[in-house]
Copies of this chain bind each other. A is one copy, B any other.
């Protein structure tokens, strides 16, 4: 580590380069920004001076001179799902702050699980009105193609929460959902004290995140906890009403349910059912996302653990990542890694 200690190690500026290379400021700028109209020999001279001086451009000054404005668009599903609401509220929290940092955020909502609506907005977005776009939506070929078209128009694209790995998106902001499912399974296996059946409540078959969680969960269950049997699945479509309506039949059919893995949204319906059902008192329940509802369920003991991803981190990361992509600058992978958070009743954040 070379944590130098010089008190005034004056960093080289464009002026220094111009002087050393024996050219004008304008030429230095042309080379720096790869603008045309400079002879190769001149380019060489400038590059040499840059290397020699160890010059790194001051982004703040550059953005000031350039009057750079970042315009970022978020496209989220229009739903009252608490996790999505949390994402929205993080976006508006950043809105104010970023206004004073040359960054303007725009939020669009599309009907959930509706690929066409997403495609529509994506296709209507021009590079003039957005430097980057972050989307949270279904994984379909049409969406993938729209993403690729947006990229070709010069718009940076990030996928949020649920990835579109087949597309040319710049970055995925979210967790490894297979690992999240595996983590849920591991906790389930260790928390359940007797053998029995496990019930899974999934979301939609169009959502890659839901599918991946399910796959991870099943894999660990099969390999490691053979005394537990994944016996039933409800496709809840993130809808609390639907979930609470479907649950009674499942519990009637299977007598020995010892665990429930709620891998998507709509936890309200699950909680309502569990709290009205004395026989479900000892069932181990593991769900996703820390929200007001799930937090309460964890506190009262209805839920045993939560697998989560930090909505604030996701939004801040998406913003940083899109800015970097727009400027073709590298990111700090460590800072942008979204953790698979595990919450128990004792490590909940304050409030």
Contact = CB atoms under 8 A, between A and B. Distances in A.
Tell me if A's interface is mostly helix, strand, loop or mixed.
mixed
Interface stretch (A35-43, A112-120, A159-167, A336-344): A336-344
B1 A88 contact: yes
Contacts of A56: 99-100
23 contacts: A1-B89, A2-B92, A3-B106, A4-B104, A5-B106, A56-B99, A58-B64, A58-B100, A59-B100, A60-B60, A60-B102, A93-B334, A176-B350, A179-B347, A182-B346, A183-B347, A187-B344, A193-B193, A312-B334, A337-B349, A341-B341, A342-B342, A342-B344
B346 A220 contact: yes
A107 B2 CA distance: 10
Interface residues of A, number: 63
A273 interface: no
A129 interface: yes
A190 interface: yes
Contacts of A100: 11, 56-59
B332 A340 contact: no
A156 B195 CA distance: 56
B59 A186 contact: no
Contacts of A205: none
B346 A186 contact: yes
A110 to B, nearest CB: 15
A324 interface: no
A63 interface: yes
Given A335-B312, A344-B342, A105 B3 contact: yes
A180 interface: yes
B58 A61 contact: no
Contacts of A216: 346
A340 B350 CA distance: 11
